[in-house]
Amino acid sequence: MKKMIFLLLTVVLFIFLSACNSSTDKPMTDSKAGNEPKSGGILKFAQSAEPTTLDPYIWSIINDRNGFIQIFNSLMEYDPKTLQPVPGIVKETKLSEDGLTYDLIIVSDVMFHNGKKMTSDDVKYSLDRAMAKEAARTSTLLKSIKEVKVVDDTHLKVILSNKDSLLLDAFVEVFVTPNDPSISHSNHPVGTGPFIFDKWNRNEKIVLKKNPNYWKKGLPYLDGMEIVTIPDAEVKLLQLINGQVDVIENVPISKVTETSKNPNLSVARIADELTTANYFMLMNDSKTPFNNVKFRQAINYALDRAKMKQALFGNFVVRSTSVPSSNPNFNPDTIKYDKDLNKAKQLLKESGYNNEKLELIYHKNDMMYDIVAQIADQSLKELGVNVELKGIEIAQWVEKVFNKKQFDLALTSSVPKPNTIDMLYHMYGKQNGGAIQWNNKEWYDKLLSVSQMSTEEGKKALMDLQKVVLEESPGIIVGGFVQSAGLSIKTHGFIPSPQAKMYFESVWKD
């Protein structure tokens, strides 16, 4: 059986990032600035919402990840030029001829921030954590693992119950923590990454210090970082302009052009066709009226995605599928949810909707969500749905939607990994899947078996899966999320990520 191969890139991505060096390579030169990296300085990174946790296995939102990826290393990493998995903590992998055993060799002489030397025992413990039920983002992706055996301090064997061509992709999400259950990574994380957790002033900032014993020689360049919470997008940009912060995760959409023309600032933006991120509308499929497929389809047809793109000054991709059309596994024969109000109203009528009052909640951590939510609200009202729009803090949103599942409609954004399986599973499975409660075990089982199939079988299965999920619309891809990070011109070495990851391992300041 041929190994399942997923083409993760277009030629455009290679051209776009060809000048960038992987963070695992030797120290890089900032081609735009034409200068060599220098050490020193504290970088201030501002984002719109405070992380809800720094534990890499129970996180919910992008703001969480922007914090903990500075502190932890993963088993594998994505090369920014190819988005293919490359060595991280695991420096060598060898797959047995039968495809059921991986030998993993890890980097030696890696120290945790608490002074403990990392060994294979810690990697096994981390894999066990990642496979635990509460680790919703990784547990299902690692379900092919039958057993993990420690051979010696730098060697493990991962024994599989079935072939899994995407296991190394899944390892990108497995972060190494010490084998010490007494450590509370939510509040005081201990990792092996470029920066060491120092303190967390709630609702203000997280302070990180340089890891002087970092295993990637010469990195990081910075002496430390401050992750600052600034909820107001305009205030956040003003602080960037005034030099109070060095990087913001997103420039207000109405200010992107103006910011890019500012000689003291720069904007780092991924091309529309390369972003894997999506605005996503969750629906509580466990109750009326969402348990009726015609009602869900009516909402999908009613959304005015073109208006959203216009209102967001072009920083939005009009699409209703999580698999971009440039993807080799894209199915062009699925339902196209172009706005069709007449069709939407007919479906609404056929669904038996009886004017029940519904609530659409969204998290108010950026102006973009306000705009998308307001246009979605207008679209639903135009359809004839009795809906009330409510913006809440992101921690409340997570509690209400992911934890308690007490919601009707909920708007968020999600960022899948750059492979077709995760483009589907991240949106409709994992935490989103637990919240929407779509009752289609056959679809989920088939999706999670694709990595065991041949290339031809897998491609056909993925096309079938796209067709089913778009017909069923258990949740709605509202459109592609486009992020434009803002940076001081004195900040160098930053590489924008299609997954909206804010890495600072190789960044330096003038």
Predicted confidence (pLDDT) per residue in 218-277, tens digit: 999 999 999 999 999 999 999 999 999 999 999 988 899 999 999 999 999 887 877 888
Q: Average pLDDT of 485-493?
A: 96
Q: Average pLDDT of 425-454?
A: 91
H/E run at residue 235: helix 233-241
Token match 């434009």: residue? Answer: 484
| CATH code, domain with 349 | 3.10.105.10
* pLDDT, tens digit, 9 for 90 and up, residues 446-477: 998 998 898 899 999 999 999 999 999 999 99
Same domain, 489 and 451: no
Number of domains in the chain: 3
Same domain, 322 and 219: no
Same domain, 377 and 459: yes
CB atoms under 10 Å from CB of 109, counted, come to 9
Q: Which residues contact 457 (CB under 8 A, 6 or more apart)?
A: none
Q: Average pLDDT of 300-328?
A: 93
At 336 the pLDDT is 92
At 253 the pLDDT is 85
| CATH code, domain with 97 | 3.90.76.10
Same domain, 374 and 456: yes
Does 13 reside within a domain? no
Does 7 reside within a domain? no
Does 12 reside within a domain? no
Same domain, 297 and 256: no
| CATH code, domain with 496 | 3.40.190.10
Does 67 reside within a domain? no
Confidence of residue 441 (pLDDT cuts 50, 70, 90): very high
CB 383 within 8 A of CB 341: yes
Lowest-pLDDT range of 22-31, 101-110, 381-390, 483-492: 22-31
Same domain, 117 and 35: no
Residue 396 has pLDDT above 50, yes or no: yes
Residue 3 has pLDDT above 60, yes or no: no
Domain extent for 154: 72-185
Does 329 reside within a domain? yes
Does 334 reside within a domain? yes
Confidence of residue 6 (pLDDT cuts 50, 70, 90): very low
Residue 53's φ and ψ, nearest 5 degrees, are -165, 160
Residue 14 has pLDDT above 60, yes or no: no
Residue 5 has pLDDT above 60, yes or no: no
DSSP character at residue 402: I
Residue 29 has pLDDT above 90, yes or no: no
Of 137, 161, 185, the last residue of a domain is 185
Same domain, 341 and 250: no
Q: What is the CA radius of gyration of the chain?
A: 22
At 280 the pLDDT is 97
Token match 């004839």: residue? Answer: 384
Same domain, 239 and 303: no
The bridge status of strand 247-248 relative to strand 42-47 is parallel
At 81 the pLDDT is 65
Q: Could you tell me the two tokens for 377?
A: 């609200």
Confidence of residue 25 (pLDDT cuts 50, 70, 90): very low
Does 235 reside within a domain? yes
* pLDDT, tens digit, 9 for 90 and up, residues 105-156: 999 999 999 999 999 999 999 999 999 999 988 998 899 999 999 999 999 9
Token match 């020193």: residue? Answer: 40
Percent of the chain with pLDDT over 70: 93
Of 185, 212, 239, the last residue of a domain is 185
Same domain, 471 and 330: yes
Residue 16 has pLDDT above 80, yes or no: no
- Helix, strand, or coil (residue 324): coil
More confident residue, 254 or 89: 89
The average confidence (pLDDT) of the chain is 90
Q: Residue 38 burial by CB count (10 A; 0-12/13-18/19+): exposed, middle or buried?
A: exposed
Q: Average pLDDT of 390-417?
A: 94
Between CA 5 and CA 3 the distance in angstroms is 6
Question: What single-letter amino acid sits at 48?
Answer: S
Confidence of residue 392 (pLDDT cuts 50, 70, 90): very high
Same domain, 229 and 179: no
Question: What single-letter amino acid sits at 256?
Answer: V
At 24 the pLDDT is 32
More confident residue, 399 or 417: 399
Token match 């061509």: residue? Answer: 165
Q: Is the dihedral of CA 434, 134, 150, 120 positive or negative?
A: positive
Q: Which residues contact 435 (CB under 8 A, 6 or more apart)?
A: 282, 284, 401, 402, 405, 407, 410
- For residue 424, how far is the Cα from the chain centroid? 13
Of 124, 159, 185, the last residue of a domain is 185
- Mark out the alpha helices in 312-391 (DSSP H runs): 341-351, 367-383
Residue 21 has pLDDT above 50, yes or no: no
DSSP character at residue 118: P
Same domain, 288 and 209: no
CB 367 within 8 A of CB 328: no
Distances in whole angstroms, Cα of residue 460 to Cα of each of 14, 466, 477, 489: 27, 10, 22, 47
Same domain, 286 and 424: yes
At 209 the pLDDT is 98
E-assigned strand segments in 48-112: 76-78, 85-87, 90-95, 101-106
At 395 the pLDDT is 87
Q: Average pLDDT of 47-57?
A: 93
Does 8 reside within a domain? no
Lowest-pLDDT range of 146-160, 183-197, 329-343, 356-370: 356-370
Between CA 146 and CA 419 the distance in angstroms is 23
